[in-house]
Chains A and B, each alone.
Chain A
């Protein structure tokens, strides 16, 4: 069985401060992992993905994530938050052998204060 757990349902930061959104996964196989962002009343946009290449993955809008197999984690970070980063963030896992069946974490709502 496989699943993904986002450890915080809500994270609040001040503009210009670092962002950390935490994600842990469980999988019997080597997983593919993704971070998606969803702005209010919008579809989902891919931020970055890990598919067994480099463990430090750089994405769009200054976000990056590091795959740590020993900790089964794939935390999302950004050095300096911007007001436009306020959104819902989903960590997603796919079993490599499966039919691109994406399993979403519960989501983390990021609030950015001025």
Chain B
């Protein structure tokens, strides 16, 4: 299995809602990532988990809360988002966090905040 899966594919939420994005991989990778991608822009790194511990937080607002329950799963909990948070949220995984390890990306969750 060489896939990274993300659910849901699409999500529409209001500014007062609480929702979660889910990412899963079964490749035995020990590093997992969340990226945010606005339209016609490159992905921007949000969080990095290495061996289920948060190792990088790129100054992301606290309304985004990551969680890594185990080595195969990565969640992104959303609360009190703003319309400007609407974007494609991409999850990725890699064997480790060495610069030699390429990242495998999921198809993304397209989030719309009303």
Complex-state Cα separation, A71 to B17, whole angstroms:
50
Interface size on A, residues (CB 8 A): 26
Determine the interface band of chain B, counting residues with CB < 8 A from chain A: 20 to 34
In contact, A102 and B45 (Cβ under 8 angstroms): yes
Complex-state Cα separation, A44 to B89, whole angstroms:
12
Complex-state Cα separation, A46 to B43, whole angstroms:
14
Contact among B48, B103, B107 with A42 in the assembled complex (CB-CB below 8 Å): B107
Tell me if A's interface is mostly helix, strand, loop or mixed: loop
Given contacts A43-B4, A46-B103, 15 further A-B contacts (CB under 8 A): A32-B99, A32-B100, A34-B102, A43-B106, A49-B102, A99-B50, A99-B56, A99-B97, A100-B48, A100-B94, A100-B98, A101-B48, A101-B56, A104-B44, A105-B42
Q: Select from chain A the residue with minimum beta-carbon distance to B44.
A: A104
Q: Which residues of B contact A41 (CB under 8 A)?
A: 110
Q: Does A95 contact B (CB under 8 A)?
A: yes
In contact, A100 and B101 (Cβ under 8 angstroms): yes
Q: Which residues of B contact A94 (CB under 8 A)?
A: 99
Q: Select from chain B the residue with minimum beta-carbon distance to A53.
A: B100
Q: Which residues of B contact A96 (CB under 8 A)?
A: 99
Complex-state Cα separation, A31 to B42, whole angstroms:
19
In contact, A99 and B102 (Cβ under 8 angstroms): no
Complex-state Cα separation, A15 to B110, whole angstroms:
31
19 contacts between A and B (CB under 8 A): A31-B99, A32-B99, A32-B100, A41-B110, A42-B108, A43-B106, A46-B102, A46-B104, A51-B99, A94-B99, A99-B48, A99-B56, A99-B97, A100-B96, A100-B101, A100-B103, A102-B103, A104-B42, A107-B40
